[in-house]
Amino acid sequence: MTDLETRTAPPPAGALRRAAPALLGYAAVRALGLATLALWSAARDKSAYTLLTARWDALWYTRVAELGYGYEVRLPNGDVHSNLAFFPLLPWLERLLAAVSPLSYADGGFVVSLCGSVAAAWGIFAVADHVYGRRAGVCAVLLWAVLPVGIVQSMAYSESLFTALAAWSLYAVLTGRWVTAGTLALLAGLTRPVGTAVVAAVWVTAVAAFVRDRREGADPGPGPRARRALGMLLAPLGTAGYVLWVGHRTGKGALGYLDVQAGWRNGFDGGYAFARFVGDKFTSFPSALAGVGLVIGVVSVVWLYAVGVSQRQPLPLLVYTGVVTALALCASSYFGSKPRLLLPAFPLLLPLALTLARLRSRWSALVLGCVAVVSAGYGAWWLNGSGPP
């Protein structure tokens, strides 16, 4: 990380040309996923578009856009599901698009998701290309596209928007653009609670840079120091602002947002509830197979992170991925949503991208093509079934 603030980014036009193969490949994978979903849904007399824009969390976001905050559902068991649990940037954008175009709020969410997914793919490429080179960047984007739950990238959810903001914030950190990094971290913090991961990446890397300058006797000058400090100041404002606003609205202070999440039976327990959930799968033979799959999945995630550490991934990537992974695996509820919650942890894919990048092009294309077909089928089956909680 000694060259953190000396490596520069290419101009926008050159950057787009460099990323074009990754973006075209990403668009092809997503088009395959959407076409498969459309055919699968039509065969079952369902609307693929409804599944993408008007089910599960997508409904909560459109309600925020339409009605504002304050809507809640009281369940028979006494739980209270409040829309205050959903951060505001996506519904703000849905409302904006509905105000300036004929689009509905749901349509706006779909458009934001599509644009956000392409921006996320470009950001992932930019990060991977900057660290490991162009071939690894293309492979990283395509691996993100073919994830089993990759269809979520095309839903009116906030994952794509958040991943785009996070990826470009990390890229800004890697290229020493601290004000840009802090601004994007602020916006990421208005998108999802896991925006704290982007804030942590900016802060830890900035502090490390200050310490390094002091230890090495380097003097970047008052301008760079001020920009770095400003980036640190901006980064947490999104998350902190929304959480404090929720606390004020609920009358429960800084802990108000935690109470809102508790109404959804969601919280952070260090992974205890998830471990019990996995353990319970081994009480009968059919479910034991699912338990084995879950164990393999968790071990794979931890292993990929360890490989990233051993490959000396840059500090902001390690901090960001560590926080995203910890929050996803250690949440105390909605265990079926954990693969979706890990979608933004794209640096986990970098070790696999490096491996694919070393293969001959035809072999890497064959592997990715086969996985893309399986992913498209799984995504269509999943959304027509249980879908993302």
pLDDT of the chain, 389 residues: tens digit per residue: 434 444 566 677 788 999 999 999 999 999 999 999 999 999 999 999 999 999 899 999 999 999 999 999 998 888 899 999 999 999 999 999 999 999 999 999 999 999 999 999 999 999 999 999 999 999 999 999 999 999 999 999 999 999 999 999 999 999 999 999 999 999 999 999 999 999 999 999 999 999 998 888 777 878 889 999 999 999 999 999 999 999 999 998 878 999 999 888 888 878 877 888 888 778 877 778 888 888 899 999 999 999 999 999 999 999 999 999 999 998 877 777 889 999 999 999 999 999 999 999 999 999 999 999 999 999 999 999 988 86
Distance, in Å, from the CA atom of 48 to the CA atom of 53, rounded to the nearest integer, reads 9
pLDDT at 94: 98
How far is the CA of 170 from the CAs of 123, 179, 249, 315, 329, in angstroms? 9, 12, 32, 10, 22
At what angle are helices 272-280 and 285-310 packed, to 10 degrees? 140
pLDDT at 22: 97
- At residue 10, the pLDDT reads 67
**159-174 helix and 178-189 helix, angle to the nearest 10 degrees:** 160
Nearest residue to 186 via CA among 117, 244, 232, 125: 232
Measured distance CA(235)–CA(241) in Å, rounded: 11
**Whole-structure pTM value:** 0.94
Nearest-CA neighbor of 242 among 91, 57, 83, 87? 87
What pLDDT score was predicted for residue 326? 95
Q: What pLDDT is recorded for position 53?
A: 96
- According to DSSP, residue 9 is labeled P
The three-class DSSP label of residue 362 is helix
Q: Two tokens at 86?
A: 């959903």
Query: Apex CA 205: angle with CA 181 and CA 88, to 5°?
Result: 40
d(CA 347, CA 364): 19
Task: Say if CB 151 and CB 37 are below 8 A apart.
Answer: yes
For residues 277 and 260, the answer to whether their CB atoms sit within 8 Å is no
Q: Taking the chain, what is the end-to-end CA distance rounded to the nearest angstrom?
A: 39
Rounded Cα distance between 329 and 331, Å, is 6
Candidates 183, 151, 163; CA nearest to 320 is 163
pLDDT of residue 375: 97
**What does the alpha-carbon distance between residue 241 and residue 313 come to, in Å, rounded to a whole number?**
31
**Whole-angstrom distance, CA of residue 61 vs CA of residue 56:** 9
Q: Residue type for 93, please?
A: L
Give the SS3 label for residue 31. helix
